[in-house]
Structure 1
Amino acid sequence: MSTRRCATSSNRLLDALPAKERDRFFADCTLVDLVAGSVLYEQGDRIRYVYFPTESSISMLATVDDHSTLEVGMVGREGMCGHALILGGDFASLRALTQGAGAAWRTDTTTFRRHLENLPALQPLLDRYVSILLRQLAQTAACTRFHVVEKRLARWLLMTQDRAQADSFDVTQEFLAFMLGVRRVGITTAASSLQSRKLIHYRRGSITILNRDRLEAAACTCYRFDLEVYRHGMTARARGPGSFRHQRALAGPIRTTDA
């Protein structure tokens, strides 16, 4: 991973810190490029680094019986990876896999814990984020159990678009089946249905979202639930100038069009 420096973080959590605390935090961070498909840590590994994505996205995966794996969460510029440290833990409870390549701020565990103690605004901010993340993880578990593949696929595509900040992105059917925990034939059927309704265009490992509003209407209610939980959770105690602008949603305004 190569390092780069830039003037702003473009990570919503870090942007929400007071300027002086943000500058102190950045002084001990490195901007790294995460490579798609790279494993940041396996489930049960000791956490060495904390990541705050700016352009990249990270999938959080649960492994069952050392064979089956399922994506239970996705982190982009709205959040961070390494949340166990906020709760006082040392080990990763989930596997962290780079889903979308791009930049992320990285700091080591020792430095991160020192900042938790010395930066007054950091711990309360991250406590709120962890509370939100746990609710979203629980919602994903319910979504996997009760919602059909097509609606779950639509939700996943919207979540990915939010973090990729682009209408088109590369993804294979094998990867989608892996993320959603279903057989490839289920992904083929669901993607074909969305394409026939002209919501997406899928060809040879590349997906383009053609109609964002109609895709939201086709997704399960869990997508909007995640946005609302983040917005309300992160703005509950934020009263500073511009804080709502920084924290209102994962990647932009919440759309309410249902048709």
Structure 2
Amino acid sequence: MSPSNAILNSLPPAERAIILEAATPVEFRLGDLICEAGDRATHCTFVDEGIISAVAVMADGRTIETFMIGPEGMTFPLAVEAGARAYSRLVAQSDGYGRRVEIGRLRQLADHSEALREAVAAYAVRLTGELEQSSACNALHRAEHRFAKWLLRCHDRVEGDVLKLTQEYLASMLGSQRTTVNEAAQTLQRAGAIRYSRGRVTILDRVALERAACECYGVQWEILEAGIHPPPLAKAG
């Protein structure tokens, strides 16, 4: 199967083929733990479909998502240049699949591929930009606006309009109380942007959801995803 991953697809065909030969197909399911914070990174995963979330875990057990990885990216991009330890928990936010490459082997391949080094470095820079914007967003913007932004970013990375998301899971991703998430969901539902019930969020009106999101959605799109996916309004119905 040809990769859907933007990093791999940016490489010359011959170099991409070498990496695919060294890679092992991997599937993940909603809620699967990819690695725990503090674990030593052993493999990089290039995501073809689905979402992997990086989640910061506080000493009291509270959590908040710091960034998400979809078909535009990979886990542990900096491990290509140096050893890496996971600073956040990596967990599957949806069903999906990708290609895993052992880090030592990927380094060897990068030593002989300027295109791979440049593609991974460019992704790492964009990811840093996303993290910087997320820090400001989490500190300054209200939960309902962050919730709308978060739904849009999920919608950009998955097929279809239905997201399997429990209230508890949403609260852990947004670093908010379940009651706050429920209020935000009800506000978006009354606006006709989504339908929310039984652990599912259905995107009904993409344009309305974009109006409800904070400015960070557009900024993060420009930083990380411009030129990789269709324009943000492509899914609007």
Q: What band does the TM-score fall into relative to the shorter chain?
A: over 0.9
Pairing 1:124-139 to 2, within 5 Å after superposition: 124-139=118-133
CA distance in 2, matches of 1:87, 1:26: 19
Aligned to 1:222: 216
CA distance in 2, matches of 1:165, 1:35: 15
Secondary structure of the corresponding residue to residue 220 of structure 2: helix
CA distance in 1, matches of 2:216, 2:179: 23
Q: Unmatched 5+ residue regions in structure 1? A: 1-5, 233-247
Q: Structure 2 counterpart of 1:225, which letter?
A: V
1:24-61 superposed Cα distances (whole Å, 9 cap, x missing partner): 11110111111221111111111111111111210001
TM-score for both structures, normalised by structure 2: 0.94
Aligned to 1:155: 149
Matched, 1:69 2:47: no
Shift of 1:73: 0.3
Aligned to 1:236: none
Aligned to 1:254: 232
On the 8 A contact 2:34/2:91 being kept in 1, the answer is: yes
Aligned to 2:3: 9
On the 8 A contact 1:84/1:92 being kept in 2, the answer is: no
Pairing 1:34-183 to 2, within 5 Å after superposition: 34-65=28-59, 67-183=61-177
Shift of 1:66: 5.5
On the 8 A contact 2:195/2:202 being kept in 1, the answer is: yes
Return 123-132 or 85-94, whichever deviates more.
Answer: 85-94
CA distance in 2, matches of 1:137, 1:217: 22
Secondary structure of the corresponding residue to residue 112 of structure 1: helix
Shift of 1:84: 3.4
TM-score for both structures, normalised by structure 1: 0.87
On the 8 A contact 2:147/2:184 being kept in 1, the answer is: yes
Q: Structure 2 counterpart of 1:254, which letter?
A: P
CA distance in 2, matches of 1:64, 1:252: 36
CA distance in 1, matches of 2:10, 2:23: 16
CA distance in 2, matches of 1:103, 1:199: 29
Query: How big is the alpha-carbon RMSD for the aligned residues of Structure 1 and Structure 2?
Result: 1.5
CA distance in 2, matches of 1:221, 1:21: 38
Secondary structure of the corresponding residue to residue 226 of structure 1: helix
Q: Structure 2 counterpart of 1:158, which letter?
A: L
Q: Indicate the percent of aligned positions where both proteins have the same amino acid.
A: 35
CA distance in 1, matches of 2:95, 2:219: 26
Q: Structure 1 counterpart of 2:86, which letter?
A: A
On the 8 A contact 2:23/2:101 being kept in 1, the answer is: yes
Aligned to 1:187: 181
Aligned to 1:245: none
CA distance in 2, matches of 1:89, 1:137: 21
